[in-house]
């Protein structure tokens, strides 16, 4: 069975790795014409060899490679990965965003790239370009329509991931942000084993216990593979409500956790308060408990949800807004942690 599922889903098939011919692979070693099976095997071996070489080159061409994981689904991992990519790009960096969520690829929609088709030339896949020049690769680009399910067993998914890594023409990048499906199995393991010099993992969580429990598994996963945890991000952390009242009015707000929060309007009658929709501080507590850095909190912002649906990320729509500023702080801490991780140790291979 071929491990090149992308070529099967590329409507043009033009120049895809599996259709590529080379003089070296037209015949067997004996000089006799190779059978169709032999030729297919040789083509696959040739593609794999090229891919391995490309993966080594990627180590040099892409300065920083960051994996974004979560133990639990629905914590906003793709939104955070997209936000990190856009925030890094807003600082003037060349950024790539790789959506490894094969069965639930959402990032193109979040970036207004739904319906985009990938360009393939001479066996190389060229990424789509989103806001701020962010280069994007996603399984969604290869599906006939967004409702088409991807029904693949593990080995086929792994083949697709290796193609995403080894056959994509990323060019020179400062950062490659890689978004994963939830969990700690095939997808992140394949990337760790295929891509050299990964800077580390960002673990996304929400403050409730169920998400934190799974986050600890993700941290344990990183520890097992000895890949640095660059930090934990607490997403959907606090929802700020605002209103007006009589100047200096004192009010009580019925908070989601059942407590009453005291709020006082200012002299102009404006008031605001931040409520914890789930819980508060769980991400930071987990990071401290597991001995890994905490990157920061991202607010619960309905504008992020609307932006994702409309294809305009909140950072793009409101670059000075609360969410954009929170992402900028997370990125600042992330960069500091990347620098710290790079300084530690290292194996010399001669």
Partner 1 sequence: MDEVPELQRLERGDSAMELTWSDGTENSVDYRTLRYWCPCAKCGPRRGAQDLAELLQAEVAAYPQEMPTVQTVGGYALHFEWSSGCSSGIYRFERLWSIANALDPDDGKPYVHGAW
Can you give the binding site for partner 1, defined by CB under 8 A?
52, 56, 189, 192-193, 196-198, 224-228, 345, 347-350
Nearest to 62 by CA among 6, 131, 120, 137: 137
Residues 6+ apart with CB under 8 A from 331: 84, 87, 88, 91
CB of 53 to partner 1, least distance (A): 10
In angstroms, the CA 226 to CA 200 distance is 9
Nearest to 177 by CA among 211, 132, 136, 129: 136
In angstroms, the CA 214 to CA 81 distance is 18
CB of 251 to partner 1, least distance (A): 53
CB of 340 to partner 1, least distance (A): 15
CB of 346 to partner 1, least distance (A): 8
Name the residue nearer to partner 1 (CB basis): 180 or 271.
Answer: 180
Name the residue nearer to partner 1 (CB basis): 224 or 240.
Answer: 224
Name the residue nearer to partner 1 (CB basis): 83 or 200.
Answer: 200
Contact 177, 190 (CB under 8 A): no
Nearest to 63 by CA among 204, 171, 163, 165: 171
CB of 326 to partner 1, least distance (A): 30
Name the residue nearer to partner 1 (CB basis): 10 or 199.
Answer: 199
Strands 128-129 and 250-254: unpaired
Name the residue nearer to partner 1 (CB basis): 154 or 196.
Answer: 196
CB of 303 to partner 1, least distance (A): 37
CB of 310 to partner 1, least distance (A): 38
- Tokens for 101, please give them: 């969520």
Name the residue nearer to partner 1 (CB basis): 46 or 126.
Answer: 46
In angstroms, the CA 106 to CA 296 distance is 24
Question: What three-state secondary structure class fits 300?
Answer: coil
- Alpha-helical segments (H) within 206-247: 209-224
Contact 229, 69 (CB under 8 A): no
Name the residue nearer to partner 1 (CB basis): 198 or 295.
Answer: 198
């Amino acid at each position: 069975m071929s491990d090149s599922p992308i070529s099967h889903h590329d409507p043009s098939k033009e120049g895809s790795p599996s259709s590529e011919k080379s003089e070296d692979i037209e015949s067997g070693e004996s000089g006799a014409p190779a059978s169709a099976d032999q030729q297919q095997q040789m083509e696959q071996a040739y593609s794999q060899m090229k891919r391995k070489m490309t993966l080594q080159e990627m180590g040099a061409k892409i300065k920083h490679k960051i994996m974004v994981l979560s133990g639990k689904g629905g914590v906003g991992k793709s939104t955070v990965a997209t936000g990190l990519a856009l925030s890094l790009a807003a600082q003037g960096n060349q950024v790539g965003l790789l959506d490894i969520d094969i069965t639930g690829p959402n990032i193109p929609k979040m970036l207004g790239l739904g319906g985009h088709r990938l360009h393939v030339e001479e066996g190389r896949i060229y990424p789509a370009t989103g806001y701020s020049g962010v280069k994007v690769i996603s399984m969604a680009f290869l599906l006939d329509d967004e409702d088409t399910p991807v029904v693949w067993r593990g080995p086929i998914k792994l083949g697709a991931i290796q193609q995403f890594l080894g056959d994509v023409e990323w060019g020179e990048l400062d950062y490659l942000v890689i978004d994963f499906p939830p969990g700690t199995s095939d997808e992140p393991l394949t990337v760790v084993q295929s891509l050299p010099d990964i800077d580390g993992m960002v673990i996304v969580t929400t403050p409730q216990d169920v998400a934190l429990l799974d986050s600890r598994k993700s941290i344990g996963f990183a520890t097992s593979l000895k890949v640095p945890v660059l930090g934990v991000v607490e997403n959907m952390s606090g929802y700020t409500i605002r209103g007006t009242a009589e100047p200096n009015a004192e009010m009580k707000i019925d908070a989601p956790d059942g407590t009453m929060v005291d709020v006082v309007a200012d002299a102009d009658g404006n008031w605001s308060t931040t409520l914890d929709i789930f819980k508060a501080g769980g991400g930071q507590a987990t990071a401290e408990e597991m001995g890994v850095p905490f990157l920061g909190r991202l607010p619960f912002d309905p504008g992020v949800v609307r932006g994702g649906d409309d294809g305009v990320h909140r950072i793009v729509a409101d670059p000075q807004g609360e969410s954009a500023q929170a992402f900028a702080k997370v990125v600042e801490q992330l960069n500091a942690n990347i620098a710290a991780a790079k300084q530690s140790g290292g194996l010399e291979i001669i």
